[in-house]
């Protein structure tokens, strides 16, 4: 199947999907549509979000529908209200030129009476969430005794949300000779149990290797302290003025907190979570789809069914417990042939999860440094200049006001006028990021392992240069912060750094000889917590003596213990001498 014309789909369907821009079938569509049209049997399809699943089961379902029969012939079950509405809209578009075919959505959070009236009019295809579908079957308002096709979309998610009992109740009311189609992104043990219980010798279809990450998505991670996660999120937004993305959180509470912080700080953001009413969810998601919201904060469950092709970023405020869910999240960007970025905000303890995701998904992460205040200010300034340069000027509208404006600004020359105008828009960024600290964290464990391995194998022949820096413990400088400054100056996290000694007013450190010029150029002129940074090659090689408090503490106490032992011996000696005199 190279084109949709190679199928037996009718002319009205082909006309509708051609108008929608369908040209060549996606892999899941190419394999699934011919099989479903032939009604040969059950199917298990492994496919990720955004692979064209809805058309894969929707087009054959519409084609096989008998319009003259008012019974429900196809039942589609999906995990969330949003996905239910999305599937219904898509199927309605596919059936645009088929007169009399009715597609009805049934889901919780909306009027049951309205849905019952729609079912009474005749629903050839019903798309529903498990809870509401079971309720309507129990009330005998939805009759599924003549269903010919049962489709379980996002089956893995329905099970993870606890719908197993609802699915059992629904499936037990369907005829045994129906065709069952199961679509799932993962093949867990629970999915396998459903296939054994309710499917007859199903054909398995996998459009690509399971859990394969998208090729046009760049995966990066920032390593910071947990308390700095929100600061990283703000820097990501500020570094990308045209960001249009989703930030995933684990819990409803965290989702609400992060969204409220973003809105309070002036970002164009909002949240979707389970505590919102259906009307509230529809309003938020409607604004996001129209691009009126730039950042949406969501849980994995709430984001199901949100199909947006132009997302620039997916941000993992926390990595999910299940590595496979990361693939679902990242798959929401980089769609429709466009590139996207998936960012994970992690701490050192999350490296195990990063490695696991890379292992199961053929994804390769890149560690990057959190953007510095200077980088963000530069990016925002250039974005502002581009905006001013490209703004539309309506001469007729502003003409009456120009004489007064010219008179008001007459005392400013060209350079002063530019500075005043830019500063009016730009001062808040300069003020906020004036003394922005480096919040990057190094993976000390991997660094220590690397150093030990190099020493043991004696394979490290890197020559180091010793540097002096005008910062010390009095400036709150720590080895981690110094490493962050070095990495920021060199714009790399892979340069070999040798020994570090932090003194009170200054410090010494070693860096690969080959980076001497770059380091001097990059670090001199930097600002660390209000102090201009000055770095130079150390003329004398420092001793790099240990400054461990524990060691000095032990030495001090060893002296005290020895003195106490000596005094005790002296007391015993004096006591013995006294006894001898008394005798």
The owner of tokens 């929608």 is 20
Highest mean pLDDT among 131-135, 153-157, 197-201, 276-280: 131-135
Could you tell me if 489 and 515 are in contact, meaning their C-beta atoms sit under 8 angstroms apart?
A: no
Question: Residue 557 above 60 pLDDT?
Answer: no
Question: Tell me, what's the pLDDT at 224?
Answer: 93
Question: Residue 555 above 80 pLDDT?
Answer: no
What is the rounded average pLDDT of the residues 439-456? 58
Question: Tell me, what's the pLDDT at 559?
Answer: 40
What is the rounded average pLDDT of the residues 176-183? 89
> 107-146 pLDDT, tens per residue?
988 889 999 999 999 999 999 999 999 999 999 999 999 9
The CATH H-level superfamily of 444-537 is RRM (RNA recognition motif) domain (3.30.70.330)
Question: Tell me, what's the pLDDT at 562?
Answer: 41
Question: Residue 259 above 80 pLDDT?
Answer: yes
Question: Tell me, what's the pLDDT at 116?
Answer: 95
Give percent of the chain with pLDDT exceeding 70.
Answer: 85
Q: How confident is the model at residue 565 (pLDDT cuts 50, 70, 90)?
A: very low
Spatial distance between the Cα atoms of 3 and 14, rounded to a whole number of angstroms: 11
Q: How confident is the model at residue 336 (pLDDT cuts 50, 70, 90)?
A: low
> 273-297 pLDDT, tens per residue?
878 887 888 889 889 988 889 999 9
Question: Tell me, what's the pLDDT at 170?
Answer: 93
The kind and range of the H/E element at 248 are strand 245-248
DSSP of 508-573: EEEEEGGGHHHHHHHHTT-EETTEE--EEE-SS--------HHHHHHHHHHHHHHHHHHHHHHHHH
Residue scoring higher pLDDT (203 or 563): 203
The CATH class that applies to domain 4-206 reads alpha beta
Could you tell me if 231 and 344 are in contact, meaning their C-beta atoms sit under 8 angstroms apart?
A: no
Residue scoring higher pLDDT (560 or 76): 76
> 495-540 pLDDT, tens per residue?
788 888 989 999 999 998 888 988 999 999 898 888 999 999 987 6
Tell whether pTM > 0.85.
no
Q: SS3 of 124, please?
A: coil
Spatial distance between the Cα atoms of 317 and 261, rounded to a whole number of angstroms: 14
Question: Tell me, what's the pLDDT at 162?
Answer: 81
Question: Tell me, what's the pLDDT at 76?
Answer: 96
Question: Tell me, what's the pLDDT at 561?
Answer: 38
Question: Residue 583 above 50 pLDDT?
Answer: no
Residues 6+ apart with CB under 8 A from 484: 369, 438, 439, 440, 441, 442
Measure CA of the first residue to CA of the last residue in the chain; give whole Å.
118
Could you tell me if 16 and 93 are in contact, meaning their C-beta atoms sit under 8 angstroms apart?
A: yes
> 463-506 pLDDT, tens per residue?
889 999 999 989 889 887 888 889 888 887 677 888 889 899 99
CATH no. of 217-371: 3.40.50.300
Question: Tell me, what's the pLDDT at 218?
Answer: 93
Q: Which two tokens stand for residue 279?
A: 């009307």
Rg, C-alpha atoms of the chain:
33
Domains 4-206 and 217-371 belong to one CATH topology: yes
Give percent of the chain with pLDDT exceeding 90.
Answer: 33
What is the rounded average pLDDT of the residues 222-251? 93
Mean pLDDT of the chain: 82
In the chain, what are the domain boundaries? Answer: 4-206, 217-371, 374-432, 444-537
């Amino acid at each position: 199947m190279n084109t949709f014309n190679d199928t037996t789909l009718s002319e009205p369907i082909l006309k509708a999907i051609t108008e929608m821009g369908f040209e060549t079938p996606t892999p899941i569509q190419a394999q699934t549509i011919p099989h479903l049209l032939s009604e040969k049997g059950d199917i298990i399809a492994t496919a990720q979000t955004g692979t064209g699943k809805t058309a894969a089961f929707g087009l054959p379902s519409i084609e096989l529908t008998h319009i003259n029969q008012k019974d429900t012939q196809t039942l589609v079950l999906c995990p969330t209200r949003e996905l239910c509405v999305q599937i219904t809209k898509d199927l309605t578009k596919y059936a645009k030129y088929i007169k009399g075919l009715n597609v009805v959505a049934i889901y919780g959070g909306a009027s049951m009476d309205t849905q019952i009236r729609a079912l009474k009019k005749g629903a050839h295809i019903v798309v529903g969430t498990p809870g509401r579908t079971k309720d309507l079957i129990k009330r005998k308002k939805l009759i599924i005794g003549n269903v010919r096709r049962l489709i379980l979309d996002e089956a893995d998610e329905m099970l993870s949300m606890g719908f197993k009992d609802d699915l059992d109740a629904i499936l037990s009311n369907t005829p045994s000779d129906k065709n069952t189609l199961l679509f799932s992104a993962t093949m867990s043990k629970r999915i396998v149990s459903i296939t054994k219980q309710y499917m007859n010798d199903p054909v398995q279809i996998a459009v690509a290797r399971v859990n394969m990450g998208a090729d046009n998505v760049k995966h990066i991670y920032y390593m910071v302290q947990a308390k700095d996660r929100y600061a990283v999120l703000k820097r990501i937004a500020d570094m990308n003025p045209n960001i249009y993305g989703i930030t995933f959180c684990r819990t409803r509470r965290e989702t609400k907190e992060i969204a409220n912080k973003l809105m309070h700080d002036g970002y164009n953001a909002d949240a979707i979570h389970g505590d919102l009413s259906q009307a509230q969810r529809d309003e938020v998601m409607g604004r996001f789809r129209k691009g009126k919201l730039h950042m949406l904060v969501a849980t994995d469950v709430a984001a199901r069914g949100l199909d947006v092709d132009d997302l620039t970023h997916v941000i993992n405020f926390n990595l999910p417990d299940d590595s496979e869910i990361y693939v679902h999240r990242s798959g929401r960007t980089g769609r429709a042939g466009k590139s996207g970025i998936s960012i994970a905000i992690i701490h050192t303890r999350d490296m195990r999860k990063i490695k696991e995701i890379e292992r199961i998904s053929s994804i390769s992460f890149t560690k990057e440094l959190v953007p510095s205040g200077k980088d963000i200010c530069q990016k925002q300034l250039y974005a502002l200049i581009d905006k001013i340069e490209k703004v539309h000027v309506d001469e007729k509208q502003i003409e009456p006001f120009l004489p007064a404006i010219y008179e008001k600004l007459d005392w400013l020359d060209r350079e002063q006028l530019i500075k005043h105008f830019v500063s009016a828009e730009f001062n808040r960024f300069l003020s906020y990021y004036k003394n922005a600290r480096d919040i990057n964290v190094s993976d000390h464990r991997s660094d220590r392992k690397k150093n030990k391995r190099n020493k043991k194998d004696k394979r490290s022949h890197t020559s180091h240069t010793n540097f002096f820096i005008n910062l010390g413990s009095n400036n709150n400088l720590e080895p981690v912060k110094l490493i962050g400054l070095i990495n920021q100056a060199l714009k790399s996290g892979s340069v070999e750094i040798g020994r570090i000694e932090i003194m009170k007013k200054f410090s010494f450190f070693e860096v690969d000889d080959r980076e001497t010029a770059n380091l001097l150029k990059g670090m001199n002129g930097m600002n660390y917590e209000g102090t201009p940074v000055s770095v130079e090659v150390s003329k004398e090689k420092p001793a790099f003596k240990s400054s461990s408090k524990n060691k000095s503490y032990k030495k001090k106490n060893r002296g005290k213990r020895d003195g106490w032992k000596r005094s005790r011996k002296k007391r015993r000696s004096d006591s013995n001498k006294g006894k001898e005199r008394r005798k």
